[in-house]
Amino acid sequence: MIKIVIIGSGNVALHLIHAFTKSKEIEVSQVFSRRKEAIFPLLDSSKITDNFNDLVEADLYIISVSDDAISKVSSQLPFENHLVVHTSGSVPMNSLDDKNRKGIFYPLQTFTKGKEVDFKPIPICLESENESDFDLLEKVAKSISNSAFKSDKKQRKALHIAAVFVNNFVNEMYRIGNEICDENKIPFEILKPLILETVNKVMTLSPKEAQTGPAKRNDQQTIEAHLDFLSNENHTTIYKILTQSIQNNGKEL
């Protein structure tokens, strides 16, 4: 059994605890949290501590707190030369305190509070300061996921940015679609089959091949009619820039 201590009780921490407690190869030895009540249903309360000095011995310490708290938490750990990783896509590995061996355990997913997530398909990006620590990280990742990915610093940053595009920015397109529906007394529901099919397409086609619509067709008349119709300046700006992006990059096909 690989012994793990998880530090944190945010969204990612809770989902990790949930996944690890179901794994046969992993023992969640302890969780550090100032909010016992958040963890309690997942773990026996004797295994929850809010005192760094009470942390037990483990093979791996996973710090899963907000980005700006990672550095401070890592320096508060009362031991040395243990394997300590964080779960952030954007914080550098060397933000972790030098007194321990460093690594990254970054699950590439958007977690919703209270919504169970199947970890199996979720890619987990792994980095380790010492090559000898990588095997353990990989074992831990594979105990909950089918997809462990050895990344480097640059790749993890690139992935985090790509994730912003395909998650946050996609969601912003949905929000604007919803806003346009609301303004015109159309239920947002009506867009959902199209939203689903748009995703289905890129599961088998590349996004470039999957593209359709007025920008791709260079249908200037429709584009101008749309811009005429839009009264919200934010919508107009985004419409123009993304139309241009499609038109410029479609050419490379």
CB of 135 to a second copy, least distance (A): 21
Per CB under 8 A, 134 contacts a second copy: no
Q: How many helices (H) and strands (E) does the chain have?
A: 11, 8
Q: Which residues contact 193 (CB under 8 A, 6 or more apart)?
A: none
Q: In terms of CB distance, is 117 or 136 closer to a second copy?
A: 117
Per CB under 8 A, 56 contacts a second copy: no
CB of 101 to a second copy, least distance (A): 24
Q: In terms of CB distance, is 11 or 36 closer to a second copy?
A: 11
Q: In terms of CB distance, is 34 or 208 closer to a second copy?
A: 208
Per CB under 8 A, 151 contacts a second copy: yes
Q: Which helix (H) or strand (E) holds 32?
A: strand 26-32
Per CB under 8 A, 198 contacts a second copy: yes
Per CB under 8 A, 150 contacts a second copy: no
Among 50, 98, 175, 218, binds a second copy (CB under 8 A): 175
CA dihedral in degrees (140, 144, 147, 152; nearest 10)? Answer: -40
The three-class DSSP label of residue 123 is strand
Give dist(CA 198, CA 207) in Å, integer: 10
CA dihedral in degrees (131, 133, 138, 143; nearest 10)? Answer: 170
Residues 214-233 that bind a second copy (CB under 8 A): 214-216, 219, 221-222, 225-226, 229-230
Q: Interacting stretch for a second copy, rule CB under 8 A, among 28-36, 43-51, 78-86, 204-212? A: 204-212
Q: Interacting stretch for a second copy, rule CB under 8 A, among 24-32, 37-45, 72-80, 181-189? A: 181-189
Per CB under 8 A, 166 contacts a second copy: yes
Q: Which residues contact 135 (CB under 8 A, 6 or more apart)?
A: none
Per CB under 8 A, 50 contacts a second copy: no
43-57 b/e with 16+ CB inside 10 Å = b?
beeeebbeeeeebee
Per CB under 8 A, 40 contacts a second copy: no
CB of 30 to a second copy, least distance (A): 28
Per CB under 8 A, 236 contacts a second copy: no
Among 93, 117, 139, 142, binds a second copy (CB under 8 A): 117
Among 25, 40, 186, 218, binds a second copy (CB under 8 A): 186
Per CB under 8 A, 110 contacts a second copy: yes
- What is the side-by-side order of every strand in the sheet holding 48-49? 48-49, 26-32, 2-7, 60-63, 83-86, 101-107, 123-128, 147-150
Give dist(CA 207, CA 197) in Å, integer: 13
Per CB under 8 A, 155 contacts a second copy: yes
Give dist(CA 86, CA 206) in Å, integer: 32
